[in-house]
Chain A
Amino acid sequence: MIDHIFYYFASCSILSTLTYGFKLITDHKTKIYKLYALCIPFFAIIMTFENYYHLDTLNTITSFCFYFILYFLIYRRNRKETTYYGIVLWSFGLIIDILAMICSKFIPYLSLLMIRSIYTIFLDIILIFILRNKKLHRWFKSLYKKISRVKFPYFRLILLITILCSLGYALYFSVVEKNIVNSNISLYVLLISVLILIIIYINCEYNNYSLKETNDHLIKSNEFYITIVDDYHILKHNIIHQLNGIKSVSNKKSIQLIEDLIKSYNENNKCSHKMQKLPIGISRIVYEKIYDCNEPNLKLGVDNIIETNVFDHLSPRRYNLLCEALGVLLDNALQATLKTKDKIIMIDMRETENSYRIKIINTFSELLDIDKLGTMKYTTKKSGHGIGLFSIIGRKKVKVKTSIINDLFINEIIINKKLD
């Protein structure tokens, strides 16, 4: 009986150590729900009972679950972080268990369980000192950052497969040692885990399918919208054409009326033709920049003859660079053109066999130092600017050609088609 009392205290000790260890390793500084720590003695009782009835496999699983329940209840951090640090600390607990088991074999005078329990308490104290090490915290944090990039459903899947493998291993040993109670429990747990695995798999597949369906629907809607806009342009063009015909045979008053009518047709479109036909992604950047500046007198022309999907020819990294360059140049063009009387921006997009070429042409009206243009911190805006053009001009993967032809500032972005 005394062995089990020792085991109870050892369980309390390891649960408390690892719960406190969670605080240390995560540098937890927000609110702690200390009251839930009262669960520790209760969980320890369950673990002692499991040990009493030799339910070793179940003990491993329940102890694993208890840690997580405690972390969730006491610290309330996000699931991903709790799972990661939970596994780390559980591994520490496992090491302590193994070490205590090994050490207990060297003292034959006392009962094995009692010695194991004493060692566990002793190793717990040492673990607290180890977990205070700041270098260790940093290392685990950097590892967490890397792991957190993994998509969560797959992370859960990996976790579940790991547990299944461990269970299979435990089941194998239970069968070899002919421990029927343990093997039955392990079998049930294994079955439940397989079921969960299948559910997760179905869930992932369903999510992918619904996402694909949504995307297809959006693309179809977009195409439909483009057709409507095209139809509108044709209709408007034909009406203007017909009005011009009537104008040619009209008297002065009618001409004035028709001209007013034509003017009203032309006033209500902010962007010119083909804006909606820009490649997906690029169009978003252009729209955002243009609508952000909120200038009703801005005259924007877009000519696009890019017909291929940009994402099929550019790697994400190259696409990012293209977006960055486009964003910087559009910002500059907008800033410059808004100071002018004409307020004109023209975006001309085309593709060759090997590259995409985007020309941004804008009017400007200011003093430009040609030799300093494109160098660090040279700007015609307020101080603190002048990084944008400089940062993109030196890039190897994206080339930017700048030219000034009279009152037009022309920037051309050239990016090679490559999926590196």
Chain B
Amino acid sequence: MISFVVVEDDTKTQELIKEVLRRTVIKKDKNIKVKYFTKFNKELKNIIEDNSVRKVYIMDIELETKMSGIEIAKLVRKEDWESEIIFITCHDKMFETVHRDVLKVFNFIEKFHDMEKRLEENIELIFQRKFDNKMFKVTNRNVDLQIYYRAITYITRDKEERKIIIHTDKNTFKLNMNLSDVTELLDNRFIQTHRSCITNRQRVHQWNWTKGFYILDSGEKVEYLSKKYKKEVEIND
């Protein structure tokens, strides 16, 4: 289930957002709930704390109350990393860059520059993504590790240290586990492609069975492809 939460204190802008949502969301599915707020209150707090529903927050950064949009986003991200956040703003770019990554903001949309069109496009994109915010979570004595499934490209086994290595778009993590244990923590987009490799097939651009490698959507070439697993890959595809 999905619901939309709009936090905007300017009535004119709120009306514009309402119109956009009517055209895009409610047209698609009448059961989708949309809640409107002008400030942070108890009801909004309860909605944020309810993790059973995935939400799309459309918020103004500068609210005329003590709690700004950024503060509300922080409250959302305290527990919930699966909902999407869109900011309606006239803030400067640097501020955006910082918060975009830190709070995993889907987008910052300028109020005075094609706001309606860009909001529509963003909502379409979110629907296309199907809220793919599933995470791989591991906790040990010192660190909590959480990675989006979609960010994981492949997982290999380090023979020397007997650890697994998780490869993501930007980073690599070593973990004291074995491949069979890690498979239980992943969903069916991850398939075994080699004796010592599990691959996120949604991220594979091209398979080359004859030469034993595949190319990821990022262009990276991975030489962990064995014919032994060809059937399994083709069935899942």
B173 with A368: CB separation less than 8 A: yes
Q: Does B205 contact A (CB under 8 A)?
A: no
A344 cross-chain contacts in B, Cβ below 8 A: 97-98, 101-102
Chain B residues with CB below 8 A from A245, complex form = 112
Q: Is the CB of B173 within 8 A of A348?
A: no
Q: Which of A264-297 contact B (CB under 8 A)?
A: 265-266, 269, 272-273
Do B144 and A403 touch (CB < 8 A)? yes
Q: Are A301 and B143 in contact (CB under 8 A)?
A: no
Q: Are A342 and B101 in contact (CB under 8 A)?
A: yes
Closest beta carbon of chain A to B74's beta carbon, Å? 7
| Contact with B98, one of A266, A301, A403 (Cβ below 8 angstroms) | A301
Query: Which residues in B have their C-beta under 8 angstroms from that of A408?
Result: 101-102
A360-409 interface with B by 8 A CB criterion: 361, 363-375, 393, 401-408
CA distance A373 to B93 in the complex (A): 34
> Which of B4-12, B17-25, B50-58, B146-154 forms contacts with chain A?
B146-154
Query: Are A240 and B171 in touch, CB under 8 angstroms?
Result: no
Shortest Cβ gap from A392 to chain B (Å)? 11
Interface centre among B91, B92, B104 (most CB of A within 10 A): B92
CA distance A406 to B148 in the complex (A): 6
Cβ of B138: which chain A residues have Cβ within 8 Å of it?
370
How many residue pairs bridge A and B at CB < 8 Å? Answer: 121
Across the interface, B145 reaches (CB within 8 A) one of A237, A263, A404, namely A404
Kindly report which residue of chain A lies nearest to residue B176, judged by CB atoms: A371
- Enumerate chain B residues within 8 angstroms of A78, measured Cβ to Cβ: none
CB of A364 within 8 A of CB of B95, answer no
- Given A266-B93, A404-B145, A406-B147, residue A371 in contact with residue B98 (CB < 8 A): no
- B90 and A373 form a contact (CB under 8 A): no
Is the C-beta of A299 less than 8 angstroms from some C-beta in chain B?
A: yes
User: In the complex, are the beta carbons of B93 and A247 less than 8 A apart?
Assistant: no
CA distance A406 to B145 in the complex (A): 8
* Given A265-B92, A370-B175: A272 in contact with B98 (beta carbons within 8 A): yes
- Find the A residue at minimum CB distance from B95: A272
**Interface SS majority for chain B:** mixed
Instruction: Tell me if A74 counts as interface (CB < 8 A to partner B).
Output: no
In this assembly, does B111 line the interface, its C-beta being within 8 Å of a C-beta of chain A? yes
Residue B117 at the chain A interface, CB threshold 8 Å: no
Contacting pair B112 A366 (CB below 8 A): no
A254 to B94: give the CA distance in the assembly, Å.
22
For the complex, is A416 an interface residue (Cβ under 8 Å from B)?
A: no
Closest to A273 in B: B95
A256 interface residue (CB < 8 Å to B): no
Binary contact track B75-96/A, C-beta < 8 Å → 1, others 0? 0000001000000001111110
| 24 cross-chain CB contacts under 8 A | A236-B92, A244-B90, A244-B112, A247-B112, A247-B113, A262-B92, A272-B94, A301-B99, A344-B98, A344-B101, A367-B171, A367-B174, A370-B140, A371-B163, A371-B174, A373-B143, A374-B141, A374-B143, A393-B142, A401-B144, A402-B142, A404-B145, A407-B171, A408-B101
Q: Which residues of B contact A (CB under 8 A)?
A: 70, 74, 81, 90-95, 97-99, 101-102, 104, 110-113, 138, 140-148, 151, 163, 165, 168-176
A-side residues, CB < 8 A to B, are 236-237, 240-241, 244-245, 247-248, 262-263, 265-266, 269, 272-273, 299-301, 303, 340, 342, 344, 346, 348, 361, 363-375, 393, 401-408
